[in-house]
Chains A and B, each alone.
Chain A
Amino acid sequence: MDQFHLFPPQASSTAYGVDTLFFVLTLISLFFIAVVFLPILFFCIKYRRGSSADRSNPSNGSNAVEVGWTTLPMLMGLALFSWGAVDYFRLERRPGNAIDVEVVGKQWMWKVQHAEGKREINELHVPINRTVALTMISQDVIHSFFVPAFRVKQDVVPGKYTSEWFKPTRTGEYHIFCSQYCGTQHARMIGRVVVMQPQAYENWLKTGEQTESIVRAGERLFHDRGCSGCHAVNSQFHAPLLQGLYRNPVPLANGTVVTADDQYLRDSILQPAKQITAGYDNIMPSFSGHLSEQEIMQLIAYVKAIGQQEPPPR
């Protein structure tokens, strides 16, 4: 981690693609630099004041030439745009079958929780050659989760889940930086990613005190905070059942239909009146201020888990 480099280590599947495009851009830049600087140098010498160069019939412009050097860079630009856009699109789409890790940013630390329940601060242990997907949220200002060795970065925004994924390809330790200015100790909101061999990772998960998994913690909260009092088959209150809900369409009272994703679940817990499910009354109290960001994530993880189940008959 602490050695001098001219180029950052390539430690993820994304890094190769980004670096390739970076080199292509560098070559194109060098080409344009040559195209501009060499003629300037040549003209400056040849047509310096007092030289005997031929200055007769100077051209004041030609539309053909102008159209040429307008069109060519434009086409080149569109090609570069497409290349970058394709890679970006891939980077922005969260792949399935990933190791889920939940990250909460706050002034000035990163709080990480693995699906198995293991927690860490300013560190992230991951196995090599497995896709890792982070679900991130901030509990105060905007931060940004940046791992230069993986060439990934995503702002971590309050009130809104963002995600970021990577597939480490090389073991070792790499920097985590907060790259969005977040206040006094912004420069110290740093950490490290530790990429491990799968076996070492499994062993690491088992070290330390035993914790319950995120889903288990969510289930416990679901009962302790009284969610199960209403969202259950035999409840006396008329509330939507949550089995089979996740990632499925939900018809709303105002006639629109939304997909029950993480953001929808979060909003439903904190601002229940915002999106009322069709056929139900607006009776749920807001849990805003009563749950920490990590607890909300645990609840959502539980709803996600029961989302795989068939909805029970009423």
Chain B
Amino acid sequence: MNTTSNMSVGFVAEQFDDFQQQRGAAQFGMWIFLATEVLFFGGLFLAYTVFRSLYPGDFVAASHHTVVAIGGINTAILLFSSTLMALAVRAAELRNQKQLIRLLVGTAFFGIIFMILKGVEYYKDWNDHLVPVLNFEWHQPNPGHAQIFFWLYFAMTGLHAIHVTVGICIMLVFAVIARTGKFTSGHFTPIEIAGLYWHFVDIVWIFLFPLLYLAGHR
């Protein structure tokens, strides 16, 4: 790429020969890490699949109690933040410092909105007595099966929320570092890597939303 060939090698770590090798290694490393993440979430997806096939009716009934509106808005928010993230990577490549900072903060902002809505939803779930073990009440058949659904709901969205939180922290820290101009002098690899991570978090949600929210709303 033209923007990268003629730059200084000050930020190339000593184990690498050149910028391209470092960038390739970092990107590839992130992809492998994401493969690990897929398998990590995969354990929960497997549990969901098994129990949904064992108790299809109860899962649909339980899914009916999730707040599909908040889930839907959150889907849109995450998708939009992913767009901002993609633009942030572009801004870093084009060495546009101001825009990079703005877009990183924007990405983090929508991540925070997502988390706030998630919190509202959890609060509502608590009031509706949908939190397993702690205050679960179920007046339809097979409360145990519904409880497994909600347990998986909290485990999956909770694990996802942890990932979103980590992502928000990364965006904010990078926004601060970006003020030094570090990422806009050619060393845009960290922004690219963070972008990959953020898109992954987004994609996980794209799978969670239909499984947990839409199952009960035909």
Contacts and interface: CB of A to CB of B under 8 A. Distances in A.
A274 B51 CA distance: 13
A282 B141 contact: yes
Contacts of A271: 142, 144
A254 B57 contact: yes
Interface string B106-149: 00000000000000000000000000000000000110110000
Contacts of A282: 141
Interface in A261-291: 271, 273-274, 282
Contacts of B145: 274
B14 to A, nearest CB: 38
Contacts of B141: 273, 282
A58 B4 CA distance: 49
A254 B56 CA distance: 10
Contacts of A274: 55, 142, 145
Interface string B28-63: 000000000000000000000000000111000000
B218 to A, nearest CB: 14
A274 B148 CA distance: 14
A250 to B, nearest CB: 16
A239 to B, nearest CB: 16
Task: Classify chain B's interface size.
Answer: under 10
A254 B142 CA distance: 15
Contacts of A254: 56-57
Contacts of A273: 141-142
Nearest to A273: B141
Chain B CB within 10 A, most for which of A254, A274, A282? A274
A187 to B, nearest CB: 33
A263 to B, nearest CB: 12
B62 to A, nearest CB: 13
B53 to A, nearest CB: 12
Nearest to B57: A254
Interface in A239-275: 254, 271, 273-274
A282 B142 CA distance: 11
Chain A CB within 10 A, most for which of B55, B56, B57? B57
Nearest to B54: A274
A100 to B, nearest CB: 28
A105 B166 CA distance: 47
Contacts of B56: 254
B113 to A, nearest CB: 40
Interface in B58-102: none
A44 B145 CA distance: 65
A254 B53 CA distance: 13
A273 to B, nearest CB: 3
Contacts of B55: 274
Interface string A42-70: 00000000000000000000000000000
Interface string A107-134: 0000000000000000000000000000
A78 B145 CA distance: 42
Interface string A145-177: 000000000000000000000000000000000
B101 to A, nearest CB: 55
Nearest to B140: A273
Contacts of B142: 271, 273-274
A47 to B, nearest CB: 41
A234 to B, nearest CB: 27
Nearest to A274: B142
A89 B45 CA distance: 32
B59 to A, nearest CB: 12
A154 to B, nearest CB: 22
Interface string B142-176: 10110000000000000000000000000000000
B209 to A, nearest CB: 25
Nearest to A253: B57
A273 B144 CA distance: 11
A282 B58 CA distance: 13
A68 B32 CA distance: 36
Interface of A: 254, 271, 273-274, 282
Interface of B: 55-57, 141-142, 144-145
10 contacts: A254-B56, A254-B57, A271-B142, A271-B144, A273-B141, A273-B142, A274-B55, A274-B142, A274-B145, A282-B141
Given A273-B141, A273-B142, 8 more contacts: A254-B56, A254-B57, A271-B142, A271-B144, A274-B55, A274-B142, A274-B145, A282-B141
Give the 6 A-B CB pairs with smallest separation, nearest first. A273-B141, A273-B142, A282-B141, A254-B57, A274-B142, A271-B142
